[in-house]
Amino acid sequence: MARTRKNNTANGNGNGNGRKYTSQQSLNSYIKSICDIMRRSNCAGALQYVPELTWILFLRILDEREQQEAEYAEAVGIDFSPSLQSPYRWRDWAAPFDDSLFALDSEQHFQGWKRLQLCEHTKEATELQELKEKGFISDLSQPFKTWVDFFLIPHLKQLKDQENATPKQKIISEVISGVERVRIDTQKNLLDILDKVHEISSENVDDTHIFPLSQVYEGLLLQMGEKGNDGGQFFTPRIVVRFMVQVIDPQIGETVYDAGLGTGGFPAQSYEHMAGKDNCKITDPQQLNILKHQTFYGREKDNLIYSIALANLVLHGIDEPHIWHGNTLTGGEAYGGLFADAPDQYDVILMNPPFGGKEGKEAQTGFDYKTSATQVLFLQHLLKSLKPHGRCGIVLDEGILFCTNKEAFVATKRKLLQECNLWCIVSLPAGTFVAAGGGVKANILFFEKDKTDETKDSTEKIWYYDLSDIKVGKRTPLTEADFEDFFRLLPTRGDSPKSWTVDIAARKAEAAVKAAPLEEQAETLNQQATELRDRLAALKKAKKQDTEEYSEIEQAVKEIEKEAREFKNQAQAIKDAVYDLKAVNPNAKAEEDNRTPDELLDFIEAKGSEVAEILANLRKKGR
pLDDT digits (tens, 9 = 90+) for 153-210: 999 999 999 998 999 999 999 999 989 999 999 999 999 999 999 988 767 665 554 4
Cis peptide before 51, with omega less than 30 degrees from 0?
no
Which residues are registered as beta bridge partners of 256? 296, 348
Do 478 and 600 share a domain, yes or no? Answer: no
Do 479 and 545 share a domain, yes or no? Answer: no
The mean pLDDT value of the chain amounts to 85
Lowest mean pLDDT of 185-189, 277-281, 604-608, name the range: 277-281
Do 488 and 542 share a domain, yes or no? Answer: no
In a domain, 14, yes or no: yes
In a domain, 508, yes or no: no
In the chain, the amino acid numbered 74 is: E
pLDDT digits (tens, 9 = 90+) for 96-115: 999 888 877 777 889 999 99
How big, in percent rounded to 5, are the helix, strand and coil portions of the chain? Answer: 50, 10, 40
CATH number of the domain bearing residue 354 = 3.40.50.150
pLDDT digits (tens, 9 = 90+) for 213-255: 555 666 666 666 554 444 445 578 888 999 999 999 999 999 9
Which among 461, 494, 527 is the end of a domain?
A: 494
Q: Are 355 and 396 spatial neighbours (Cβ–Cβ below 8 Å)?
A: no
pLDDT digits (tens, 9 = 90+) for 22-40: 666 677 788 888 889 999 9
Residue 211's SS3 state is coil
Residue 575 is part of which domain span?
516-579
In a domain, 525, yes or no: yes
In a domain, 503, yes or no: no
Do 559 and 608 share a domain, yes or no? Answer: no
Lowest mean pLDDT of 47-51, 473-477, 581-585, name the range: 473-477
pLDDT digits (tens, 9 = 90+) for 308-319: 889 889 888 898
Which among 198, 227, 260 is the end of a domain?
A: 198
Do 185 and 330 share a domain, yes or no? Answer: no
Query: Assign residue 600 a region: left if phi > 0, alpha if psi is -120 to 50, beta otherwise?
Result: alpha
pLDDT of residue 207: 53
**HEC per residue, 365-407:** CCCCCCCCEHHHHHHHHHHHHEEEEEEEEEEEEHHHHHCCCCH
Q: Are 183 and 35 spatial neighbours (Cβ–Cβ below 8 Å)?
A: no
Beta-carbon contacts of residue 544 (< 8 Å; ≥ 6 apart): 550
In a domain, 504, yes or no: no
In a domain, 474, yes or no: yes
Do 571 and 601 share a domain, yes or no? Answer: no
Do 441 and 312 share a domain, yes or no? Answer: yes
Number of domains in the chain: 4
The stretch 382-397 carries a mean pLDDT of 96
Question: Rounded distance, CA 110 to CA 97, Å?
Answer: 7
Half-sphere CA count of 603, side-chain side, radius 13 A: 7
pLDDT digits (tens, 9 = 90+) for 249-275: 999 999 999 999 988 989 999 998 998
Do 153 and 177 share a domain, yes or no? Answer: yes
Q: Are 245 and 350 spatial neighbours (Cβ–Cβ below 8 Å)?
A: yes
pLDDT of residue 569: 93
Strand stretches in 77-225, DSSP E: 98-102, 110-111
Per-residue confidence band for 4, with pLDDT thresholds at 50, 70 and 90: very low
Do 373 and 472 share a domain, yes or no? Answer: yes
Question: Rounded distance, CA 109 to CA 148, Å?
Answer: 19
Residue 325's SS3 state is strand
CATH number of the domain bearing residue 139 = 1.20.1260.30
Please spell the DSSP secondary structure of 256-305, one letter per residue.
Answer: EEESS-TTSHHHHHHHHHHHTTTTT----HHHHHHHHHSSEEEEE--HHH
Beta-carbon contacts of residue 340 (< 8 Å; ≥ 6 apart): none
Query: Assign residue 199 a region: left if phi > 0, alpha if psi is -120 to 50, beta otherwise?
Result: alpha
In a domain, 218, yes or no: no
Beta-carbon contacts of residue 459 (< 8 Å; ≥ 6 apart): 416, 417, 418, 420, 421, 422, 423, 447, 504
Question: Rounded distance, CA 516 to CA 195, Å?
Answer: 75
Q: Are 371 and 410 spatial neighbours (Cβ–Cβ below 8 Å)?
A: no
Do 180 and 283 share a domain, yes or no? Answer: no
Cα distances (angstroms) measured from residue 472 to each of 245, 282, 430? 21, 37, 7
Do 570 and 606 share a domain, yes or no? Answer: no
**Burial grade of 251 (CB within 10 A; 0-12, 13-18, 19 or more):** exposed
Which residues are registered as beta bridge partners of 440? none
What angle, 0 to 180 degrees and rounded to 10, lies between the N-to-C axes of helices 548-576 and 504-541?
Answer: 170
pLDDT of residue 511: 94
**Burial grade of 341 (CB within 10 A; 0-12, 13-18, 19 or more):** exposed
Query: Between β-strands 386-397 and 442-449, what pairing exists: parallel, antiparallel or unpaired?
Result: antiparallel
In a domain, 204, yes or no: no
**Burial grade of 406 (CB within 10 A; 0-12, 13-18, 19 or more):** middle
Half-sphere CA count of 197, side-chain side, radius 13 A: 28
In the chain, the amino acid numbered 46 is: A
Lowest mean pLDDT of 329-338, 400-409, 426-435, 478-487, name the range: 426-435
- Please state the pTM of the whole predicted model: 0.83
Do 304 and 422 share a domain, yes or no? Answer: yes
- Backbone φ, ψ for residue 470 (5° rounding): -80, 130
Which among 494, 525, 549 is the end of a domain?
A: 494
pLDDT of residue 576: 94
Q: Helices marked H in 163-202 — which ranges? A: 167-175, 187-198
